[in-house]
Amino acid sequence: MEAKNPMSSTQLRFDLINPHAVAYARTHLSEYLGPLKERGREIIQREVTRAMSGQQTAQQVARLIRDNALALTPEQVLASDVYWKDLIKKGLDSTTINRRMAKFNARQLQDRAETIAHTEIHRAAAGGQLVAWQEAQRQGLIEPETMVKVWSLTWDDRLCAACEAMDGVAVRLDEPFVRNRDGEPVANSFGEQMDFPDMHPNCRCNMNLMRKDQVAEYRDRVISLRPAVKPQSHRS
C-alpha cells in the first residue's frame, strides 16, 4: 500500500462506518469513568456502539448517558456543596436555591457526559482503525517492514503540551507509543498501553498510516512549517 505523499496518507475517518470500530466499542470501555448508576457501564457501551454504527451523534450519546448512566463524582459533590453554601449566604429563598442547585448539578453531569462520549467515541474510532490496518497487514496488503503509524495533532490553542510532544512520532503497527519526539517515556492518564493516540480524556489526536520513508517529509512539510502561534479553537 503506497501513498502519493505524506498529506494523502490514510487518516482516521469519523464520517464512515468502520465495522472494526463498532466491534471495538462493543468490547472496550475505559476504567476512568468514575461513579455510575446501576448498569451505567453497560449503558455507556451500548450508546457508544450505536454511535459507531451511525445510529446517533456524540451529542445524543452524551445526553443519554447523562440521564441514565452518571452519578456525581466526589469532586462534583464537593463543588455542589460549596455552591449550595454560597447560595445560603446570599440569603436566597429555598425555591430559588433548589432551582439553581438543579441547574448547577445538571451542568456538572452534562460536562462529564460530553467528555465521556467524546473520549469513548474517539477511542473506538482509533482502535477500530488500528484493527483494520492490522487486518490488512495480515492479508498482505500492508508491508509491516515498510509502513508505520504516525501520531498527528489537532493544531490549535486547546492542544496540551503532552500531545504536542508526540507530534510526528512513528512506530510499527504492532508497537505502542511509549516515547515522545524527544525520546522521553510517556504514559496516558488511563494507565493503559497507547496503541493509538489516546493521551487523556477529550484527546483529539489522530494517526496517519504512511511509509517509513515518508515520515521525514511529513515532519518537514507539516510540523516544521506550523506557525509559532496556534490558531484559536473553533470549540469554546
Res 5: pLDDT = 38
Quick check: 23 and 192 in contact, CB under 8 A? no
Q: Is 120 left (phi over 0), alpha (psi -120 to 50) or beta?
A: alpha
pLDDT tens-digit readout, 139-165: 999 999 999 999 999 999 999 999 999
Mean pLDDT of the chain: 90
Closest CA to 198 of 96, 108, 130, 109: 130
Separation between Cα atoms, residue 199 and residue 205, nearest integer Å: 8
Res 32: pLDDT = 82
pLDDT at 10 over 50: no
Separation between Cα atoms, residue 146 and residue 175, nearest integer Å: 14
pLDDT tens-digit readout, 126-143: 999 999 999 999 999 999
pLDDT tens-digit readout, 54-111: 999 999 999 999 999 999 999 999 999 999 999 999 999 999 999 999 999 999 999 9
For 225, list phi and psi in degrees, rounded to 5.
-95, 5
**The amino acid at 123:** R
Q: What percent of the chain has pLDDT over 90?
A: 79
Res 231: pLDDT = 87
Whole-structure pTM value: 0.86
The b-or-e profile of 60-80 (16+ CB within 10 A means b, else e) is ebbbbbbebbbebeeebeeee
Full DSSP string of 158-212: T--HHHHTTTT-EE-TTS---B-TTS-B---TTSS--SSS--STT---EEEEEEH
Cα angle, residue 66 at apex, residues 87 and 75 outer, rounded to 5°: 50
